[in-house]
Every structure is written in structure tokens, then in C-alpha cells.
């Protein structure tokens, strides 16, 4: 006879926090959201700490190098998606590690014989009015000049004219060298009243650009997530099929941590993957595993050597695993169960293995609930997919802007490795959908609001750190009527723009 879990499978929406005494010392500015990313022994510290408990999901529509840089600036971490070629994923990791704050790789570049018509089409696609003119039209070709919207009047030019006719040639440009610090570049910008400073190497090839408008962003961010060489931290997704080739490439590129990307992690395939990594690299290479939804799954991956374990099956906004396969568990119940197993494992072995709540987040307060229930951090897909830095296209639908967002189990992603069960190398059926999400602007602005909400709630519960929050949190199950009561009701709302 089948085994039955008698407890109801619950979601975050079914819980509320009960406030504790707020003391005068409980203010958001005193709250720390720092949290360990990878396993550590009792009395020791984790090798990697997050400044904020937020990871971006291992998805094509969420985590590329641009997202990784933006999130690391705020203290979180991205896992570059693994459903691409080994070479392309390694190159994304490499770009994050080589990135220097304030030095921007030019994404608007043309050859000198490109027409004004072609230039305008490029500006339309990138939204950037400053374009580098290089000999081969690439971001790192020999710099010949710059052309901006101030160099021509559309009504007075022939659309077939070459950009070389209107550009400011290299001889008339002030450029910086690749050995300059960002502070020195900013001095050149201010001293010469520039809007853009091209950075070129000794051979005259374009390296990057520094912009006046980014000056404020160049100031040191106290939450930046950096390694010991002052480079941004970045994670990378792997699978249980080609890890013998993919892992060495990612480690060589500089990935700080890996994570096996799978819809179901309670698997011998994941155990074998971790075992291979341990045999080749020992404990030097950090690797997360998952996803699981109960204590048994957690224990299996913990014993296998996972450095952190992801929790959640079927709760993602674009995931239809529960619909197609009838497998999963309410995200709140899964986190509560696995958090308990994590604490028991720590008492038994003296090793603490952080857990990640992955999926089921609809509102910002759901992140806070996940942390209260025991998650060390959360992994977010839809949340980050809405931002400017997400790698997808921004589209206008009926006057409103949206970003494309699709699941790794969708036919568009075709990430069959994520759902691999040892069969043919293909996606047999879809476990994700293709969708749109409302465009929400810059990551920095949104993350600032979300983390302030988390800190404020922690103060309501009398906690100034995440471990203290987990210890002091008091939660109550709410009825369906209570859920309705919790929102605006019995009034006509003037402008219903909830920040999700």
C-alpha cells in the first residue's frame, strides 16, 4: 500500500507571521541579511557568504553574465544557465570574472562603411545613442571613431551615407588606456567634460567604455559580492550528463560555485555527479544539488556531499510538473520539512548544509516567510526575469512593456538534461510554459525595495539577523477568508499596482 503524508501540503500564501515585541534597537538599518551559501563545520565559517539571501534561477530567460554582474553588485548571486554549449556558458562566467565595475563592454558597434540607416536600426535595438566605429564592427575591434546623436541631423542626412562621414575620428577623441583605474577614468571625464571615455589597449583596439552617467554607480557598493581578488562572484549550472566536460571548463573560467540543475534531485545521477567532482577536485569545488521536497531527499544529497540543497518541485510560476506528472509538494510544507532535517543533520554530524527555497514566490513577503521557515536563501526566476538586466527581449503589448519568460522545461528552452531520467537525449513532453511578465525596471531599484521589506518584517518579529529570525519567528496558518481579508477589500481601489 502507498505511503500517505497525513499533513496538508501548504503554500506560502497560507501562512502569516505573528509579530513579537519591537525594541528600540530593532530598526531596518541594523538588520543583517548575510547568510552562508555552502556547507561548513560547527565552529567554522562558510567559505562563501551572500550579503542578501537571493539567487537568480538557472534559466535561459533569467541568468546570463549581465544579470550576474547586476546581482553581485547588490550582494546576491546568479547561476549562469547551463542549457547552452559548454563554451558559451564558460564564456559568460569568464566575462563576469573579468568585469571591472564601471568599465562597460560596448554593445553598439558598427563598421565605418555602415550606413546611417543601419546605424539607426542598431540604436533602435540597443537604445544607446553612442556607437563605437571599429574596423570590423565588433566590440573589441580597432577603434576608428565614435558617432553620437549629436553628430548628425536625421532630416539633413542621406540614409545611405556611411557613418565615417559623420563620426568623430579617433584622432579627435580623448581615450583612456587599459591600465587606468575607474577613478582615473572619471577624472578624465570630468576634466575634459566628456560624456563617454573609450578605453583602448596598446594596439588601439577598443576594450570598453566608461560613461559619465554611471559615475554614481562607480562609487563603492558596500554589498558587492566579491572574491579575494575583488572580482564578482558567479555561479554556474551543470547537469548530470556532460559534467565531465562541463565542470572543468566552468572551473577554469572562474566559476565560484556550481549547482546541478534538475527538476528532481533525489537521484543516483546527482550522487554520481557529486562523487565525480569530489574525486577530481576534492572539496575545493563547491556544488549545490536538488531539488528535493522532504527529509529523505535532503539526507540523500547531504550524504552524497552536496554543499547546499535546493527545495521545491512544481512551485515555479512557469512550471507545470505538477500538472503533467502529479509530482511535487506545497512549497511551505517542503521548506519546513527540509529545514527540520537540515537542523537534525547539523546536530548529528556537526555539519551545516544551507538550504535554498526554489519556487512558490509570488509576493515579496513570501521570501520573508521562506526565510522564517528555515530557508537560508531563496532562488528566484520570475522575480528577476522582469528586470532590465534579464537577457530576454522587452516587448510592447497594448501600450505596456513586458519581458519574455519561459521555463527550462518548455519546448522553447528544450533543456532535456534538466528532466533527464536516463532515456533518450530529448524532451519527451513539456514541463514548463512560455510567457510574458510585466517589465519592472532596474534590478537595483527593485532589490532595494524587496530587501527593505524583509528587514522591516524581521524588525516586527524582533530579529536583526536571519538565524535570530528563524529562532524567533512565530507563524500561523490562515483560512481562505483570512487571505481575502489580508488584501484591500470592500473598497474601490483607485490605482491597483501591487509590487510583486
| H or E element at residue 310 | strand 308-311
- Which residues make Cβ contacts (< 8 Å) with residue 102, sequence separation at least 6? 182, 185, 186, 210, 214, 217, 218
CB 317 within 8 A of CB 381: yes
CB 391 within 8 A of CB 404: no
- Under the phi-then-psi rule, with left for phi > 0, alpha for psi from -120 to 50, and beta for the rest, what region is 169? beta
What are the C-alpha distances in Å from 26 to residues 33, 367, 455, 457, 472?
Answer: 14, 20, 10, 10, 13
> Which strand ranges, in their side-by-side order, compose the sheet holding 143-147?
109-110, 131-134, 143-147, 168-169
DSSP per position, 166-209:
TSEEGGG---EETT--HHHHHHHHHHTT-SEEEEE-TTSBEEEE
Nearest residue to 308 (alpha-carbon basis) of 289, 295, 326, 327 = 289
Sheet strands side by side (includes 434-438): 394-397, 400-406, 434-438
Query: Are residues 462 and 403 in contact, defined by beta-carbon separation less than 8 angstroms?
Result: no
Closest CA to 244 of 281, 296, 209: 281
As a whole number of angstroms, the distance between CA 86 and CA 78 comes to 17
Active-site amino acid positions: 319, 418
Please give the span between the terminal C-alpha atoms of the chain, in angstroms, as a whole number. Answer: 43
Q: Give 3-state DSSP helix, strand, coil % of the chain, rounded to 5.
A: 35, 20, 45
Sign of CA dihedral 207, 213, 219, 224: negative
For residue 294, the Cα-to-chain-centroid distance in whole angstroms is: 25
Q: Render the burial of 78-88: b for 16+ CB within 10 Å, e for the rest.
A: bbbbbbbebee
DSSP 461: T
Q: Of the candidates 113, 119, 146, 142, which has an alpha carbon nearest to the alpha carbon of residue 207? A: 142
- Taking residue 396's Cβ as centre, other Cβ atoms within 10 Å add up to 9
Amino acid at each position: 500500500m502507498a505511503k500517505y503524508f497525513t499533513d496538508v501540503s501548504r503554500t506560502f500564501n497560507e501562512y502569516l507571521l505573528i509579530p513579537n515585541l519591537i525594541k528600540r534597537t530593532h530598526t531596518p538599518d541594523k538588520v543583517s541579511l548575510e547568510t552562508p551559501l555552502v556547507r561548513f563545520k560547527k565552529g567554522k565559517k562558510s567559505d562563501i557568504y551572500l550579503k542578501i539571501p537571493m539567487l537568480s534561477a538557472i534559466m535561459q530567460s533569467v541568468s546570463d553574465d549581465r544579470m550576474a554582474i547586476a546581482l553581485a553588485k547588490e550582494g546576491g548571486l546568479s547561476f549562469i544557465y547551463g542549457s547552452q554549449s559548454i563554451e558559451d556558458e564558460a564564456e559568460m562566467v569568464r566575462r563576469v570574472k573579468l568585469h571591472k565595475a564601471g568599465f562597460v563592454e560596448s554593445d553598439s558597434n558598427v563598421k565605418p562603411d555602415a550606413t546611417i540607416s543601419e546605424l539607426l536600426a542598431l540604436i533602435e535595438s540597443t537604445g544607446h545613442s553612442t556607437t563605437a566605429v571599429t574596423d570590423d564592427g565588433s566590440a573589441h575591434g580597432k577603434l576608428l571613431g565614435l558617432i553620437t546623436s549629436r553628430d548628425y541631423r536625421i532630416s539633413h542626412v542621406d540614409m545611405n551615407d556611411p557613418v565615417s562621414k559623420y563620426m568623430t575620428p579617433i584622432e579627435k577623441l580623448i581615450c583612456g588606456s587599459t591600465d587606468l583605474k575607474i577613478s582615473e577614468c572619471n577624472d578624465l571625464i570630468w576634466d575634459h567634460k566628456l560624456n563617454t571615455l573609450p578605453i583602448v589597449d596598446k594596439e588601439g583596439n577598443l576594450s570598453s567604455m566608461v560613461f559619465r552617467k554611471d559615475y554614481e554607480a562607480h562609487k563603492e557598493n558596500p554589498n558587492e559580492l566579491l572574491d579575494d581578488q575583488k572580482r564578482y562572484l558567479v555561479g554556474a549550472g551543470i547537469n548530470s550528463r556532460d559534467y565531465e566536460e562541463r565542470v572543468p571548463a566552468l572551473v577554469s573560467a572562474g566559476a565560484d560555485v556550481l549547482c546541478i540543475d534538475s527538476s528532481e534531485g533525489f537521484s543516483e545521477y546527482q550522487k554520481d555527479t557529486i562523487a565525480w567532482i569530489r574525486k577530481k577536485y576534492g572539496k575545493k569545488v563547491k556544488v549545490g544539488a536538488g531539488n528535493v521536497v522532504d527529509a529523505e531527499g535532503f539526507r540523500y544529497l547531504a550524504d552524497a556531499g552536496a554543499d547546499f540543497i535546493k527545495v521545491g518541485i512544481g512551485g515555479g510560476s512557469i512550471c507545470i510538473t505538477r500538472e503533467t506528472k502529479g509530482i511535487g509538494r506545497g512549497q511551505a510544507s517542503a521548506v519546513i520539512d527540509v529545514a527540520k532535517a537540515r537542523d537534525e543533520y547539523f546536530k548529528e554530524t556537526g555539519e551545516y548544509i544551507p538550504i535554498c527555497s526554489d519556487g512558490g514566490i509570488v509576493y515579496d513577503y513570501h521570501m520573508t516567510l521562506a526565510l522564517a521557515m528555515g530557508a537560508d536563501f531563496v532562488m528566484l526566476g520570475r522575480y528577476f526575469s522582469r528586470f532590465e538586466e534579464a537577457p530576454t527581449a522587452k516587448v510592447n503589448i497594448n501600450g505596456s512593456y513586458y519581458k519574455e519568460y519561459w521555463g527550462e522545461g518548455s519546448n522553447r528552452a528544450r533543456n532535456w538534461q534538466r528532466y533527464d531520467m536516463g532515456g533518450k537525449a530529448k524532451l519527451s513532453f513539456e514541463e514548463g510554459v512560455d510567457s510574458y511578465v510585466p517589465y519592472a525596471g532596474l534590478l537595483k531599484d527593485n532589490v532595494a525595495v524587496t530587501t527593505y521589506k524583509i528587514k522591516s518584517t524581521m524588525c516586527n518579529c524582533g530579529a536583526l539577523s536571519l538565524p535570530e529570525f528563524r529562532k524567533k519567528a512565530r507563524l500561523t496558518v490562515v483560512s481562505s477568508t483570512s487571505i481575502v481579508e489580508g488584501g484591500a477589500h470592500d473598497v474601490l481601489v483607485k490605482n491597483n499596482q501591487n509590487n510583486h
